[in-house]
Every structure is written in C-alpha cells, then in structure tokens.
C-alpha cells in the first residue's frame, strides 16, 4: 500500500479509538463540559490530567530511546494567550471543543451538527482570511519560538516531568 | 465478560490513561501528535474552493495549511465513527438538540440553542486557529511535550471558558 493511503488509514483508526474513548469518558456531552467550566464536575480535567501524565512519561521515555521526534508548536503571547481566551468564550457558548464536537455529532447531538459545526468552519475561515493582516503583527507579539518548560527553566527534562506528574496527580486527588 | 464495552461511562482515569497510551502510538506509528482544529480550517478552505476555485490556494493561510484531506482530517472523521460505535454499544445514542443543562437554564427553544452553538462555534474556530491549536493539540499533545505555547494556550482555554460559562449561567440565565 502507498505510504500516503497507509497514513490516512492509520489516522482513521486512531480517530475511531479516540472518539470511542471520548464518548466513554462522557466528554462528548455538553452537560459534562459545561459542568467542568462551571466547576461542578471535574471529569474533563481528570481525563486531561491523566492523559498528560501517562502520555508525558511515555513519549519522553520513547524520545530518550530515539523512537520518536517531538512536534513542539512555536508560539507567542499574542498568539496563545489571546487565541486561548477567544477559544474559551466559544468553548463555553458551544459546550464542545473541536475534537469533542466530532464525538458529539457521532452521539446524535444536532446542536453540534447544525449549529456548532458550521460556526467552527466559518470562524476558521474568518481567521484564515484575516491571517495576512495579523501574522506579523499581533500573532508575533511576545514571540518565544518552540520553547519548552525544561529549556525555559534550564533543567533536565525529568526534573520537570516528575514534579509536574506529582502535582497533576495531587490536584486530581483533591478534585 | 465483555460488559465493559457496553457500559455507558468509563472511569475518567481509565479513559485518560488510554488517551495517554494512544498519544504514544500516534507519535510512534504516524509521527504525529493528536490534534483536531486544523482540520476545520482545511475544511473551510475546501468549501471556499467550491465557490472561488483555485484562487483559494493563493491565500497565505492556505499556502501554509493546504485545504486537503490529511492524517488529522481522517482522525476527526474517525472520532465521529468511534463515538457513534461507543454510543450504539451502550445504548446511549439519541438525537438531541437542547442539552439538559442548557434546557434547565435557558429553556426548550431549539433555535436559541442552535444560534448560541453557531456563535460559539465561530469563536471556537477563530480562537483555535488564532492560537494554532485546541484542547487536544495544545491541551493534551502539546502540554505533554512540555511546550510553553501549549501550556499558555491550555490555561487560557480554561480561564476564558470558566469566565464565559459563569457569566452565561450566573448573569444571563
């Protein structure tokens, strides 16, 4: 099989597994996501924190062994902080994020299919359209490139990974 | 013996750990971290192409993010299928327009819910492309790589989301 189509088939397989897990975790539900944003139900944080701890330990170990490369996204304050806050407003109004909305559609949510999906497409299109105007302006404000926490703190990565894992597990025990 | 597969909900810790392992596998097998929001930008470009043809490829954004079906696009389609399978197996599949929490706060009006979802979607699509990632790309895959861009984004997703949700449900509802 050609590399390209093999790549696409793996994408589909991983997506089916991811969607299955999101639905089983309850996060394809508006009620669970809004429950998290209203700080009444911490399912979303428990899933994310567990995924980050398990994922972080594994991928850093695999990188140490030379099995994988990382894909650290470069960023800036103008890009990540402002974009993140705009995203948050949409997250609360819609009650799904770009991944969980796909799961919500699979779960039969028509507000996701008829309302949210066309909205996300329009919002993405709007950003793509104004992109040349903001690319070297606000999106470049406070640029820090592909900085990572170990590079920022100038320490060995495991001196970040281990304490961070303990903190995340600690928060989950308190939630 | 297979009753776990028909259960409605799994422990968030089991689901989280499995997503963590899935992140190892996507990086190992496909050389890609899990992410979703770029797909919607590609999809919007494909729709624009229907109306404006090849001129769309000249837009700066689509030179950087070509409107094509790639690995992540298939991942997002897979999510719909995977969630559908899970919902059918547990019997939790149902068509619904107004979710329960929304109903309790804002009533049964379907049009109102769809409009709010549409406007929320605009913010979500715009914000995710502004920040170059979403809850999966930054929130899970980027934070585990210890990327500073992803930690800032993920924290801001939740600061913005919590403030907006409290505003919506405490002041308006």
Express each pLDDT in B31-49 by its tens digit: 999 999 999 999 999 999 9
**Lookup result for tokens 């049964």:** B108
Report the C-alpha gap between B132 and A93 in whole angstroms.
20
- Asked if B98 contacts B114 with a C-beta cutoff of 8 angstroms, the reply is no
Cα(A27)–Cα(A103) distance, integer angstroms: 8
Measured CA to CA, the distance from residue A4 to residue B13 in angstroms comes to 34
Contact by Cβ (8 Å): B64, A135: no
CB A32 within 8 A of CB B1: no
| Interface mutation vs chain A, best among B30, B78, B79, most A CBs within 10 Å | B79
The SS3 call for residue A116 is helix
Burial class of residue B97, CB neighbours in 10 A (0-12, 13-18, 19+): buried
Phi/psi for B2 (5° steps) reads -95, 20
Q: Chain A partners of B164 at a C-beta cutoff of 8 Å?
A: 37, 88-89, 91-93
CB pair distance less than 8 Å for B17 and A51: yes
Tell me whether residues B144 and A52 touch, CB distance under 8 A.
Answer: yes
* Tokens, residue A10: 């793996």
Say what the pLDDT of residue B115 is: 98
Partners of B75 on chain A (C-beta within 8 Å) are 11-12, 14-15, 18
Element (H, E) at A143: strand A143-145
ipTM of the complex: 0.97
Contact A52, B143 (CB under 8 A): yes
Instruction: Quote the pLDDT of residue A3.
Output: 74
Minimum Cα–Cα distance from B129: chain A residue: A124
Residues of A in contact with B159 (CB under 8 A): 84-85, 88
Q: How far is CA B148 from the centre of its chain?
A: 21
- The answer on pLDDT for A1 being more than 90 is no
Cβ separation A18–B132 shorter than 8 A: no
pLDDT at B23: 98
Asked if A101 contacts A112 with a C-beta cutoff of 8 angstroms, the reply is yes
Q: Which residues of A6-34 are buried (b: 16+ CB within 10 A; e: fewer)?
A: ebbebbbbbbbbbbbbbbbbbbbbbbbbb
Q: What token pair was written down for B144?
A: 């585990």
**Would you place residue B1 in the very low, low, confident or very high pLDDT band (cuts 50, 70, 90)?**
low
Q: pLDDT digit string (tens) for A75-124?
A: 999 999 999 999 999 999 999 999 999 999 999 999 999 999 999 999 99
Please list, residue by residue across A75-106, b when 16 or more beta carbons sit within 10 angstroms of its beta carbon and e when fewer do.
Answer: bbbbbbbbbbbbbbbbbbbbbbbbbbbbbbbb
Residues B78-121 pLDDT 10s: 999 999 999 999 999 999 999 999 999 999 999 999 999 999 99
pLDDT tens digits along A122-149: 999 999 999 999 999 999 999 999 999 9
d(CA A160, CA B87): 38
CA angle B149, B152, B158 (to 5 degrees): 135
């Amino acid at each position: 099989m050609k590399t390209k189509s093999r790549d696409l088939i793996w994408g589909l397989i991983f997506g089916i597994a991811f969607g299955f897990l999101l639905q089983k975790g309850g996060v394809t539900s508006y009620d669970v996501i809004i429950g998290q944003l209203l700080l009444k139900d911490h399912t979303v944080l428990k899933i994310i924190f567990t995924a980050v701890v398990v994922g972080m330990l594994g991928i850093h170990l695999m990188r140490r062994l030379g099995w994988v490369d990382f894909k650290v996204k470069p960023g800036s304050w103008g890009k990540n902080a402002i974009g993140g806050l705009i995203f948050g407003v949409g997250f609360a109004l819609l009650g799904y994020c770009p991944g969980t909305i796909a799961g919500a559609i699979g779960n039969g949510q028509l507000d996701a299919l008829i309302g949210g999906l066309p909205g996300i497409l329009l919002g993405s299109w709007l950003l793509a359209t104004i992109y040349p105007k903001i690319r070297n302006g606000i999106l470049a404000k406070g640029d820090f490139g592909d900085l990572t926490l170990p590079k920022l703190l100038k320490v060995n990565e495991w001196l970040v990974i281990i304490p961070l894992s303990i903190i995340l597990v600690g928060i989950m025990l308190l939630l | 013996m297979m009753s776990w597969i028909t259960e409605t909900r799994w422990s968030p810790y089991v689901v989280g750990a499995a997503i963590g392992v899935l992140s190892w596998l996507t990086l190992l097998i496909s050389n890609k971290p899990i992410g979703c929001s770029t797909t919607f930008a590609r999809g919007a470009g494909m729709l624009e192409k229907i109306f404006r043809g090849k001129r769309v490829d000249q837009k700066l954004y689509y030179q950087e993010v070509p409107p094509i079906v790639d690995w992540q696009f298939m991942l997002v389609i897979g999510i719909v299928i995977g969630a559908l399978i899970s919902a059918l197996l547990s019997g939790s599949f149902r068509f619904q327009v107004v979710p329960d929490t929304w109903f309790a706060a804002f009533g049964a009006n379907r049009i109102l819910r769809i409009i709010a979802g549409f406007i929320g979607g605009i913010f979500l699509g715009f914000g995710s492309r502004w920040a170059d990632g979403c809850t999966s790309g930054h929130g899970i895959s980027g934070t585990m790589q210890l990327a500073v861009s992803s930690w800032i984004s993920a924290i801001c997703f939740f600061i913005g989301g919590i403030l907006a949700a409290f505003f919506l449900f405490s002041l308006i509802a």
